Amino acid sequence: MKSELADGLAQARARTLALIEPVDDADLARQHSPLMSPLAWDLAHVGYFEDLWLARRVGGLEPLADHGDLYEAFAHARDERGELPILDPRAAVRYLAAVRERTLDVLERVDLDAGDPLLADGHVYRLVIQHEHQHVETMLATLQLRAAPYPLPPPPDARSAPLAAPELLVPGGPFVLGVDGDAWAYDNERPAHAVELDPFWIDAAPVSNADFLAFVDEGGYADVRHWSEAGRSWRRDSGAEHPQFWRREGAGAWSRVRFGHREALPPEEPVQHVSWYEADAYARWAGKRLPSEAEWERAAAGEAVAGKRRFPWGDDPPDEQRANLGGARFGPAPAGSYPAGASAEGVRQLIGDVWEWTASDFRGYPGFAAFPYAEYSEVFFGDEYKVLRGPSWAAGAVVARSTFRNWDYPVRRQIFAGFRCARDA
């Protein structure tokens, strides 16, 4: 297990360093948006978090450096971090390397079977691995907001095949929501508990740019019938008339910005950078609704009586035949791709491509217990945040399980979020 954990730490770090390699120090240190931290803050925060949990908590060591509360996520709001005396990018990378050296030394001597729940099945190491991958996605969101172009590799081929139907029926009945016994699972995914679901229809693929463009062209943003009261308020205050990064070019043509590059809007891709309010309005316009997170997980994980799946396709780990993950494409694959990654009912792209807004508020499951710290999940519970499911193309494969829960404010658009619709059967 120790070699597996060391490999996981190394893979996460390789993603981090590869991502920042083309970016100069000035842009790494600059705050590109008040919504996001400077990239150099993210780098040092990743090291601080690793040192806190794997060197100090597990290894009993003193802090590697005294950074005060500079890299405590709750100590300073994102829009303040550009004014903080943070490490310069080169110093942040050196700090990462020094922390990792300590981490690996501790890993060599720690007893993972000592009876500490934090160490059981390497849980705290998996926590830190996921944390770094999640910050890689956060840094990708920052780079999307950056004005300068980022060098984009040619995308790999996406596996595709025609959809059998635009929406698929998921039978109702008992379902076990959440998970127990998964060493990768966060506290908000536990405990597993039974829910009863009515049958429902769900889109076979995420809503595409072409689908969403029809809503835009038919005046969906201006038609108050499609918007909740809060959604109308958001649209009025934001002035939004289309997804973030889109631009009308005239004569029915549209473009979008992708990592600093202006390009024609690809109609076949899942729509990205829409708020929950936009997703909800589209669903109403289409005569549908957003799925609850329980419905989404049921569509992804299959029936509990048949053996709940860790991934839509089964229990084998993700690969390039089944899902678009890890940032290889720097964007989603066409809607309807990856038939090999389909769920038991044939629903595609539940894992990879875009985070999907659900109708659900972010709350703890019955019997929830914060572990190992309340600030990961518990402080966010309530009706201020909406749940997103299904990791995006920017997520690491280690978070790509059917039970993973993400959350954000319903106004957020800089994240790689889209959606699919559902309706009652």
Q: H/E/C letters for each residue in the chain?
A: CHHHHHHHHHHHHHHHHHHHCCCCHHHHHCCCCCCCCCHHHHHHHHHHHHHHHHHHHCCCCCCCCCCCCCCCCCCCCHHHHHHCCCCCHHHHHHHHHHHHHHHHHHHHHCCCCCCCCCCHHHHHHHHHHHHHHHHHHHHHHHHHHCCCCCCCCCCCCCCECCCCCCEEEECCEEEEECCCCCCCCCHHHCCCEEEEECCEEEECCCCEHHHHHHHHHCCCCCCHHHCCHHHHHHHHHHCCCCCCCEEEEECCEEEEEECCEEEECCCCCECCCCCHHHHHHHHHHCCCECCCHHHHHHHHHCCHHHCCCCECCECCCCCCCCCCCCCCCCCCCCCCECHHHCCCCCCCCCCCCCEEEEEEEECCCCCCCCCCCCCCCHHHCEEEEEEEECCCCCCCHHHCCCCCCEEECCCCCCCCEECCCEEEC
Mean pLDDT of 328-350: 95
Mean pLDDT of 229-250: 96
The pLDDT of residue 5: 97
Domains of the chain, each with CATH number or no CATH:
2-145 (1.20.120.450), 155-425 (3.90.1580.10)
Cα of 13 vs its chain's centroid, Å: 18
Q: Which of 113-122, 356-365, 410-419 has the lowest mean pLDDT?
A: 113-122
Mean pLDDT of 91-95: 98
Mean pLDDT of 139-167: 91
pLDDT digit string, tens, across residues 23-77: 999 999 999 999 999 999 999 999 999 999 999 999 999 999 999 999 999 999 9
The pLDDT of residue 329: 92
d(CA 121, CA 86): 34
Yes or no: say if 233 and 201 are a contact pair by the CB < 8 Å rule: no
Residue whose structure tokens are 């990205």: 272
The alpha carbon dihedral of 395, 354, 270, 255 has a sign of negative
Q: Using 50, 70 and 90 to split pLDDT, how confident is the model at 252?
A: confident
pLDDT digit string, tens, across residues 160-191: 888 989 999 999 999 999 999 899 999 999 99
pLDDT digit string, tens, across residues 3-14: 999 999 999 999
d(CA 419, CA 425): 19
The pLDDT of residue 250: 83
pLDDT digit string, tens, across residues 360-395: 999 999 999 999 988 899 999 999 999 999 999 999
The pLDDT of residue 210: 97
pLDDT digit string, tens, across residues 209-226: 999 999 999 999 999 999
Mean pLDDT of 82-108: 97
- Phi, psi angles (nearest 5°) of residue 202: -140, 145
Q: Using 50, 70 and 90 to split pLDDT, how confident is the model at 159?
A: confident
Residue 109 has pLDDT above 90, yes or no: yes
The pLDDT of residue 173: 92
The pLDDT of residue 305: 57
Mean pLDDT of 140-149: 97
Q: Which of 119-133, 153-167, 246-260, 321-335 has the lowest mean pLDDT?
A: 153-167
In whole numbers, what is the pLDDT of the chain averaged over residues?
95
Residue 198 has pLDDT above 80, yes or no: yes
pLDDT digit string, tens, across residues 268-309: 999 999 999 999 999 999 999 999 999 999 999 987 656 789
